[in-house]
Amino acid sequence: MTAPAIYRYFPSLDALVIQLTRDLFDEVRQTLETAREAAGDDPAQQLAEMARSFRQWSVAHPAEFALVFGAPVPGISTFDDDCAHTEHPAAAFGALFTQALLQLWRQAPWPTPPSEVLRERLGDALQPLKQNQGDMPLEVAYTFLSGWVRLYGLISIEVNEHLGWAVTEPKALFEAEIRNLLQQLTAGR
């Protein structure tokens, strides 16, 4: 197919990038759903397997990772603007993690800063997440973002090959972080 021929199917470059991003979010979400199902009924194991699956997909697909999870494509904000809807592919991706976290929290809450402290420090800052992912307790929203920063940060730095100065095997560091996160999340069990 020639470059101009693609515009028979998409009205603009923006529309092409948005559809490709949606498709990639669906692909990675399906990968995570498979991992979640393989992990069984334990939400802690589901979180671990989904995180591992996300890392494997990301490392195997660096260009796709960059498009979906990297810096936004200049001038294309429509995709991000629509993420507030629960049926949006990015929200569906995030919901896999938040659902497992909520289930784990209901079984046995883990230690977090007190909700009064979180409310004082974050105020309504986490409101978009709480609305997009269902009305979750502030402690769960905070834990989700804290865990996502750890997970995404480690994967992103590995995908972009910026860990060679520190570790010879990034997977070992990732596994150590997953174990630490699971210890935090299961401390109340």
CA 143 and chain centroid, separation: 13
Please determine, for residue 179, whether its predicted confidence score (pLDDT) is greater than 70: yes
Residue 87 pLDDT > 90: no
C-alpha 95, offset from chain centre: 9
Which pTM was predicted?
A: 0.89
| C-alpha dihedral, 43 to 46 to 51 to 52, nearest 10° | 150
- Per-residue pLDDT of 100-158, as tens digits, reads 999 999 999 999 999 899 989 987 888 777 777 777 888 999 999 999 999 999 999 99
126 three-class SS: coil
Q: How far is CA 115 from the centre of its chain?
A: 23
